[in-house]
Amino acid sequence: MNVPVEIKNKLFQIGATFLLFLIYFIARVIILRLVKRRAQKNSIEFSRELHIKKLSNYLLFIMVMVLIAGVWEISFKGLSLGFASAFTVIGVALFAHWSILSNLTASIILYFFFPYKIGGKISIIEGNTVISGTILDITLFYIKIRTDQKKEISIPNNLAFQKIIEYQ
């Protein structure tokens, strides 16, 4: 029995799509469990855990959608000019000085590999200037601190890698 090539291709595309969605759901469960385990191990606040879960889920979903678009041979030629124009405008508008993307990346790295916790005392050292205070919140973009002088300041997450920070 000869099955036409077009039908074989469609069956392959359907099977590959199903497989990619299955991989997506399995990877999602694994990543969410990893984030939850890390949060429990380090006593990380639920809001931070939720931010990281959402961000990792969005990134995983985008990756799977791109792969599915490749399986279904969706042409990006027509969209490429629009995407290039949009990314250029976004790049100039949003990523010119300190990148939002670098703050999101720094947020993930801070979540998994640094000891900073809400309520912890830190000192930010820059040259002869020292800013000491208590961490009020750690968001996807900023670390909010109440200084010893009772002022509230925010520092971008990516500065946590550029400044000397003493965690007490």
Determine the pLDDT at residue 89: 65
Determine the pLDDT at residue 105: 82
Give residue-wise pLDDT tens across range 29-83. 999 999 999 999 988 888 889 989 999 999 999 899 989 988 888 776 666 666 7
Within the chain, all domains assigned CATH 2.30.30.60 are found at 115-167
Percent of the chain with pLDDT over 90: 37
Distance (Å, whole) CA 49 – CA 168:
22
Q: 155 forms bridges with which residues in the sheet?
A: 143
Within the chain, all domains assigned CATH 1.10.287 are found at 5-105
Determine the pLDDT at residue 135: 93
Q: CB of 67 within 8 A of CB of 20?
A: yes
Q: CB of 132 within 8 A of CB of 148?
A: yes
- Of 90, 31, 24, residue with least CA distance to 55: 31
Determine the pLDDT at residue 15: 94
Say what the pTM is: 0.64
Which CATH class for the 115-167 domain? mainly beta
Determine the pLDDT at residue 93: 60
- Beta strands 164-167 and 142-147 are unpaired
Give residue-wise pLDDT tens across range 109-122. 888 887 788 899 99
- For the chain, the average pLDDT equals 85
pLDDT of 98 > 60? The answer is no
User: What is the CATH number assigned to the segment(s) 5-105?
Assistant: 1.10.287
The three state secondary structure string of 8-60 is: HHHHHHHHHHHHHHHHHHHHHHHHHHHHHHHHHHCCCCHHHHHHHHHHHHHHH
pLDDT of 99 > 90? The answer is no
Determine the pLDDT at residue 90: 62
14 or 86: which carries more pLDDT confidence?
14
How many CB atoms sit inside 10 A of residue 95's CB? 13
Mutual angle of helices 100-113 and 5-41, in 10-degree steps:
60
